[in-house]
A and B are shown apart, each in its own frame.
Chain A
Amino acid sequence: MRVYFRYAVKETLSNLWRNRMMTIAAVLTVAVSLSLVGSALLLKQSAAQASSQWQQGTRVTIWMEPTASAGEIANVQTQLHNLPIVKHCQFRTQAQDYVEMKKTLPPSEANVLHEDQIPTKFSCVPTVPLDAFTVQSTFMHQPGILTVTAPEQQIREMNHVIRILQIVFLALALVLLLSATVLILNTIRMAIFARRREVSVMKLVGATNWFIRIPYITEGFIQGLLGSAVAIAAVTALHIWYPLHNEFQLSTSALIGTNIVVLIVGVVIGSVGSSIAIRRFLDV
């Protein structure tokens, strides 16, 4: 067993060195594709986390027409009060909003507006964040209401964009993973070809199939492993040095989980590539 171990290690390393250019190409392709996979996974988790955080503080704002009558305002207020999906509401008068607006806007802009141009509004918190949309659709076209805004909409749009990004990332990653597998396959094929004399002698004197195969399988395995190591470094670097907005920031455990997936995929690619090469080109 020890004899074989030494032999397999020696063979694997010399094969890797002999085909170093192909090995580098294969490793880099694995690395790039797995970096994409890792980033897509991180993005997905960040998006999920951010949208759940945003939803915590979801508020629906019902803007009344500046010209809305007291009756219309009272009507909306009663409805809001009776709606079970609304937790509580706060009515802001024109005067309150005007004061707040004067604080937030620069004087040059604030002076253009008059108090009676500012719409009054109800700022409501729904019981469940997802109900914001229902509240919005209920009040949207009622008399005296200017518009109803819910952050839910932005979250949805944002999630939509993120989902498209993810699909693009994963599709790219899939294509690259495929080419990485083919590259590994080709590297192994070249290694087998370079050793065909040895292989034929080994078969002749009765070396077992696995004895002949294992160095090539470990070669592919190591290429996958090296590729995923580079990808893990890239994903970790992305996580540390290029943090997205705070709400996107993930915990270390999420990063570790992503890296484990990257590692497994890399190792699987390497093994699959070399197994195919062995089945097709090493007929023992």
Chain B
Amino acid sequence: MIRFENVSKTYKNGSPALKDITLNIEKGEFVFLVGASGSGKTTFLRLLLREELPDKGRILEAGRELTELSKFRVPFLRRNIGCVFQDFRLLPNKTVFENVAFALEVIGRPRSTVESQVPLILDLVGLSDKSKSLPGELSGGEQQRVAVARAFVNRPLILLADEPTGNLDPANSESIMALLERINRTGTTVVMATHDKALVDRMRRRVIELDKGEMIRDQVRGVYGIDESVAI
């Protein structure tokens, strides 16, 4: 589903963001991306969103070669990728329903699809009763669930999450994690960058650790810290 081949990326100010990364993520995998701030996690996700191109190497994603993808086709790539951020990125003047519906409307889905899909997905994230609320009236956890609903409403092949629990208390983090797991069980590949040690340790999923742009660990059933890692 995702394959990096000797990918390097250096920013203009000279600081290397990723150094010679090679990895493979299969369809339906759940991958944690861990590492300190500035280790290259965000660059990794930006490359997957095709917001940036690597300086060297190839990236294959959802059957496309990103380095050869024309600008014109980028939107069609993104329709296969859902994305959730730490700061939710909801539209404050639209209701929960409208926020989720927006993701379908702007890719030209007909009204009938919007009207059938949005209630389904709101039901999945447990916010059916809040569909007429504005984001400002919701708690952080609820807002993030709306963001997950928006990312998943178009049934993407891949869901990227950049610190989705970064702004949430443990209870809400749990519910978001449970939601991502549930989405993962539908066959969606999930890549989640996180700092949440407890979460990673408890989930025992594949962990990829980056440090100063280098991949220093790729464990199939890993934990957050290298010192506590279980050898496999």
Which A residues lie at the B interface, using CB under 8 A? 3-4, 7, 197-198, 200-209, 211-212
Contacts and interface: CB of A to CB of B under 8 A. Distances in A.
Contacts of A201: 89, 91, 102-103, 106, 150
Contact of B89 (A3, A197, A209, A211): A197
Interface stretch (B14-22, B28-36, B71-79, B183-191): B71-79
Contacts of B78: 203-206
Contacts, number: 59
B64 interface: no
B83 interface: yes
B191 to A, nearest CB: 15
B76 A206 contact: yes
A188 B204 CA distance: 50
A205 B89 contact: no
Q: Which 8 A-B pairs have the closest CB atoms?
A: A206-B78, A206-B79, A207-B106, A205-B103, A206-B75, A208-B75, A202-B106, A206-B107
Nearest to A209: B75
Contacts of B63: none
B83 A3 contact: no
Interface string B78-117: 1111010000010110000000001101111111000000
B154 A198 contact: no
Nearest to A7: B105
Interface of B: 49, 71-72, 75-81, 83, 89, 91-92, 102-103, 105-111, 150-151, 154
Contact of B105 (A3, A200, A203, A206): A3
Contacts of B72: 209
A205 B106 CA distance: 8
- Looking at B49, B102, B154, the one whose CB has the most chain A CB atoms below 10 A away is B102
Given A3-B105, A198-B91, A205 B111 contact: no
A257 B212 CA distance: 68
Given A200-B89, A206-B76, A209-B75, A3 B110 contact: yes
A contact patch SS: helix
Contacts of A4: 108
Contacts of A205: 78-79, 102-103, 106-107, 150-151, 154
- Looking at B72, B108, B111, the one whose CB has the most chain A CB atoms below 10 A away is B108
Contacts of A7: 105-106
Given A198-B91, A209-B75, A204 B110 contact: no
Nearest to B104: A205
Contacts of A212: 106
Contacts of A197: 89, 91-92
16 contacts: A3-B108, A3-B111, A4-B108, A197-B89, A201-B89, A204-B83, A204-B89, A205-B151, A205-B154, A206-B75, A206-B78, A206-B80, A206-B81, A208-B75, A209-B71, A211-B107
- Looking at A7, A197, A206, the one whose CB has the most chain B CB atoms below 10 A away is A206
A207 B91 contact: no
A211 B76 CA distance: 13
Nearest to B111: A3
Nearest to A200: B89
Nearest to B89: A201
B82 to A, nearest CB: 8
Contact of B107 (A198, A200, A207, A209): A207
A197 B76 CA distance: 20
Contacts of A202: 102, 106
A121 B23 CA distance: 106
A199 to B, nearest CB: 10
A211 B106 contact: yes
B76 to A, nearest CB: 7
A206 B77 contact: yes
A204 B85 CA distance: 11
Contacts of B89: 197, 200-201, 204
A279 B43 CA distance: 25
A4 B108 CA distance: 6
A110 B100 CA distance: 96
A207 B72 CA distance: 11
B97 to A, nearest CB: 15
- Looking at B102, B106, B108, B154, the one whose CB has the most chain A CB atoms below 10 A away is B106
B215 to A, nearest CB: 26
Contacts of A3: 105, 108-111
